[in-house]
Each structure stands twice: as C-alpha cells, then as structure tokens.
C-alpha cells in the first residue's frame, strides 16, 4: 500500500498552538506529514528561517510521523520531490477562504496529482495568527497560552533586545 504523504506549508513566523493543532489533525489522517517553512519573498519575517525551523522541530518533536524542512519555490514542486499527494492548509475563518481557494485552484492547475485539504483548527485557536502573536509580544503581553514555550521565550528575548532592556 502506498504511503499517504502530506505537506503543510507556511511561514510559521512564529509557530502557534493553532499550527500545532493542524499538524496533530494531519498526523491522524496521513502516514507522514512534512511541515515546510516557506520562504515568501513578499514577507519580512521577524525570525530567520533557521529560527523558525528550530521552533517547529522543538514544538513537533513528539510527533513520530512529522519532519520539518524549508523550501524556496513552489510548494507543488516540494510536494513532488517527497512524493506527497496532499497539501494541508489551515482555515480559521471565512476571511481565509478566498485566498486559500485561489491557491488551491492554482496548485491543482500546476499539479493535478496533488490535492489541497483544508483543516479547521480547534475553535479555541480560530482567532490566532502569527501577526497577532507578534503584535501582542511587542507590547509585552503574555502569549504563553498561544505559542509553545520555546517561541514565547524567543519572542520575549527578541522584543526585550529591540527595546534595549
């Protein structure tokens, strides 16, 4: 039987508990999940690619069927390179739908053999996104219930350093 391999791409700047929830759900559906840190030229991330890879690896190390990598290019090309047949996308709210729908259609046009699957996180994470986390952390808010400890500590250090404290 052919192994069912999925990729879950994102910028993960930083990884949140909502992302981890999507990974957990993906692991229940697929034999192997490859979490991909995408290098998006239209974004200026707070954390480097290496930092984001480290946060993900630390946060996901308890999942046996997950690997974490980065990729610079089209996600369908990365999926093909590891024999994945599914792209996982998290859908928090209807506001995500239009963009995600367009991306899914384009990916299907580029690679008919790859299917996009939308997963909805636990409702306690539907309002979470990395931008909100960065904003809260920049103002010194406690983000510990929204992100793994390794991320909380890195955000605190980054923003304290930027404030010269």
pLDDT digits 0-9 by tens, 46-95? 999 999 999 999 999 999 999 999 999 999 999 999 999 999 999 887 77
Q: What does the pLDDT look like over 102-132, one tens digit per residue?
A: 999 999 999 999 999 999 989 988 888 899 9
Please identify every residue annotated as catalytic.
19, 43, 92, 130
Is the pLDDT confidence value at 164 over 80?
Answer: no
| Confidence (pTM) | 0.92
What is the structure's pLDDT at 40?
75
Superfamily designation of domain 5-125: HUPs (3.40.50.620)
Question: Is-contact 117 79, C-beta < 8 A?
Answer: no
Q: How far apart are CA 75 and CA 112, in angstroms?
A: 13
Host H or E run for residue 33:
strand 32-38
Q: In the structure encoding, which two tokens stand for residue 162, read together?
A: 């930027």
Give percent of the chain above pLDDT 90: 76
What is the structure's pLDDT at 51?
97
**pLDDT interval class at 162 (50, 70, 90):** low
Q: How far apart are CA 53 and CA 103, in angstroms?
A: 23
What is the structure's pLDDT at 42?
78
Domain boundaries, the chain: 5-125
How many residues does this entry show for the chain?
Answer: 165
3-class secondary-structure state, position 25:
helix
Is the pLDDT confidence value at 165 over 50?
Answer: no
Q: In the structure encoding, which two tokens stand for residue 11, read together?
A: 């910028």
CA dist 121 to 2, 17, 48, Å? 27, 9, 26
């Amino acid at each position: 039987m052919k192994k069912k391999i999925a990729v879950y791409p994102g910028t993960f700047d930083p990884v949140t508990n909502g992302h981890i929830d999507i990974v957990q759900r993906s692991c229940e559906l697929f034999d192997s999940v490859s979490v991909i840190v995408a290098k998006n030229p239209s974004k200026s991330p707070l954390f480097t690619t290496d930092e984001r890879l480290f946060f993900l690896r630390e946060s996901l190390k308890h999942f046996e069927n997950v690997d974490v990598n980065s990729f610079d290019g089209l996600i369908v090309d990365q999926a093909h390179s590891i024999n994945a047949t599914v792209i996982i996308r998290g859908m928090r709210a209807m506001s995500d739908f239009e963009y995600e729908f367009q991306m899914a259609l384009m990916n299907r046009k580029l690679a008919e053999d790859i299917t996009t699957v939308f997963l909805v996180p636990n409702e306690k994470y539907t309002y979470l996104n990395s931008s909100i986390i960065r904003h809260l952390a920049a103002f010194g808010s406690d983000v510990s219930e929204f992100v793994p400890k390794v991320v909380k500590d890195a955000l605190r250090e980054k923003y304290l350093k930027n404030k010269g404290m």
